[in-house]
Structure 1
Amino acid sequence: MQTQRDFTLEPDDIERLANLSGPFDAHLRLVELRLGVEIANRGNVFRV
């Protein structure tokens, strides 16, 4: 069974989101590999 969680980071600060995601979403990919999840985002809305 797969569980999906959506969350929104506030405030919608583009610089902070860029730091979190990393270049070409590299930081998000590392989290995916480490935790065995998939992360999708559009702006400040993330789906794990």
Structure 2
Amino acid sequence: TLIQSGRSDFSVSSEQNKNKIFLLMTLIFITKFRKNNFILNMIRESSWPTS
């Protein structure tokens, strides 16, 4: 029973780790995407000035 409970705890923790990694990946992707958009907007404004 001790081994079984240990295994179940491990599986639960691994699931939580997967979720954490997934959230981290999405966060990194969103921040990169936002930075790219910011840079693209800057380039657009500099190359096509609205005056």
Normalised by the size of structure 1, how large is the TM-score? 0.27
The structure showing larger relative contact order (alpha-carbon pairs under 8 Å, at least 6 residues apart) is: 1
Richer in strand (by share): 1
TM-score scaled by structure 2?
A: 0.26
Q: Which has the larger radius of gyration?
A: 2
More helix by share: 2
